[in-house]
Amino acid sequence: MQQSKTLEMWVGAFVALGVVALFFLAMKVSNLSDYQGDGGYLLKARFDNIGSLKVRAPVSMAGVRIGRVSAIGFDKQRFQAVVEMHIEPQFDSLPEDTSAKILTAGLLGEQYIALEAGGTDEVLKDGSEIELTQSSLVLEEVISKFLYSKAEGSEKKDDASDEKASDGK
């Protein structure tokens, strides 16, 4: 009897440990475990199309994560998406002419914002807006442009062969 109680206690402890491990794994995968302290500052950027960019997406510079997307909104006057980014305090010397673009990690990965430093001596401050932006590349638009250009090219070839046939008569 005593042995079965001890076994049940060990099984219960093992199950509890497994639940705690799954909880921490879920927090890590969802990026909810990253603590954003009171430090740092906010930057804004406007994009024509943000694709599938989400709140808490990484903001990186030269491949190093320097912050996260903190909010996404819509400007009714300019009809653009407004993205707010929380930048960590140690990266407080970004040049004023820094540019932002939305990229995709891998072929089908999550989208993130990549910043490229400019060359001015003035730095971005809390609440500053990044003026130079490049919207997300939408795969469907690229494919349709490619197919349209191919169809247009074949029409020109057909027109050229029609002209040669009529000149030969």
Task: Judge whether residue 165 has pLDDT over 60.
Answer: no
Tell the residue number behind the tokens 């971005």, with chain if given: 124
- Residue 20 token pair: 């705690």
pLDDT tens-digit series, residues 58-86: 999 999 999 999 999 999 999 999 999 99
The pLDDT assigned to 162 comes to 56
- Residue 4 token pair: 């079965």
Task: Judge whether residue 35 has pLDDT over 70.
Answer: no
Q: Smallest Cα–Cα separation from 55: which of 67, 63, 38? A: 67
Q: How many CB atoms lie within 10 A of CB 21?
A: 10
Task: Judge whether residue 111 has pLDDT over 70.
Answer: yes
Distance CA 91, CA 149 (A): 43
Tell me the three state secondary structure of residue 46.
strand
How far, in Å, are 24, 128, 141, 165 from residue 96 at the CA level?
38, 9, 31, 61
pLDDT tens-digit series, residues 18-27: 999 988 888 7
Q: What is the mean pLDDT of the chain?
A: 84
Who wins on pLDDT, 117 or 164?
117
Q: Any idea where the domains of the chain sit in the sequence?
A: 1-33, 41-142
For residue 142, what pLDDT band results from cuts at 50, 70 and 90?
confident
Task: Judge whether residue 48 has pLDDT over 60.
Answer: yes
Distance CA 92, CA 94 (A): 6
Tell the residue number behind the tokens 């599938």, with chain if given: 52
The pLDDT assigned to 25 comes to 82
What mean pLDDT is predicted for residues 129-144? 84
For residue 100, what pLDDT band results from cuts at 50, 70 and 90?
very high
The pLDDT assigned to 155 comes to 67
